Amino acid sequence: MVGGRWSATDDILAAAARLRAALDDLVGGAHRAGFLRADFTSADIPLLLEHLSTRIPVAGDRAAAFHLRYLDLVLAGLRTSAADLPVPDRQMGDETPRP
């Protein structure tokens, strides 16, 4: 299984390898250009996208506003100007975010 969703056929494995290479190139270019904080890696992208696509317990315009707010916060935190901010090393618990 790939990501718990698809059977790992040769085509799926090849596509996953191409995606990993493209993400490595993207992140590497952003690092070289000085736009992306050094502790962000290409392995962070799929989990970050998964996290940002999660449904939140509100609807309509309020949900859209929350999604845009958190996307803005994440993007600001990825910039090199935020590199001096520590990345918390936290254990994930049963805490539920309260919008």
Measure the CA–CA gap between 24 and 14, rounded to whole angstroms. Answer: 15
Give the global pTM: 0.64
For the chain, 99 residues long, the average pLDDT of each consecutive 10-residue run is 70 92 96 90 89 80 82 82 61 41
At which residue do the structure tokens 């918390």 appear?
88
CA 29 to the chain's CA centroid: 17
Q: Among residues 41, 25, 32, 26, which one has the least CA distance to residue 78?
A: 41
Q: Output the pLDDT for position 93.
A: 42
Q: Output the pLDDT for position 14.
A: 94
